Amino acid sequence: MPHRKPPTDQPAQQSEPRDAAEWRRELKLPSERGASRLITEDLLEQLGVHGWSPSDIFAIHLAAEEAIVNAIVHGNKLDPGKVVQVACVVSPTVARIEVADEGSGFDPSSVPDCRLEDRLDAPNGRGVMLMRTFMTRVEYNASGNRVLMEKQRPPAEG
């Protein structure tokens, strides 16, 4: 009589308890438009599981989306031979997202401030600024093709 497969075949993240202190995920994304969804859906779910508020989840989602789209479109220039590496950590107090592309990088300080009067109606250049505003910490490596973003939440919030 056939036996059911033991549950050990399931991916690790599914067998973890829902109140796990920390969720980690590393993924290589193809350099295609829309690929961010391969990580953001799980990220959003885990932020909810770990008790982040809807407005924090919105903020982290926006920052992650902007960073990944920048890496795919501006970093890897949609080159199918290049990947974007994404690493996420979510706990009840910290959400950390690291995004690295295989492009030549850029100087984040060279992006003009979109809030300046003569730049207000420029259609581009808001992503990096939104990332900096919505996250507690945003750091680029020296060449500018890797960004580490972190949002911290006081444990006693609410």
Partner 1 sequence: MATHRRIDVSKLGDVTIVRFLDKKILDEAGILELGAELFGLVELENRKSLLLNFAGVEFLSSAALGKLITLDRKVKSNKGRMKMSNIRPEILEVFQITKLNKIFDIRKDEAEAISAFA
C-alpha gyration radius of the chain: 18
User: By CB under 8 A, which span of 86-94, 103-111, 127-135, 145-153 interacts with partner 1?
Assistant: 127-135
Nearest-angstrom CA–CA distance, 142 and 144: 6
Interaction between residue 62 and partner 1 (CB under 8 A) = yes
Per the document, the length of the chain is 158
Report yes or no: 125 and 110 within 8 Å, Cβ to Cβ: no
Output the smallest distance, CB 155 to partner 1, in A.
23
Q: Does 49 bind partner 1 (CB under 8 A)?
A: no
What gap in Å lies between CA 123 and CA 155, rounded to an integer?
Answer: 38
Does position 109 bind partner 1 by CB under 8 A? Answer: no
Place of tokens 């497969």: 5
The residues binding partner 1 (CB under 8 A) are 33-34, 36-37, 54-55, 58-59, 61-62, 65-66, 69, 73, 114-115, 120-124, 126-127, 129-130, 133
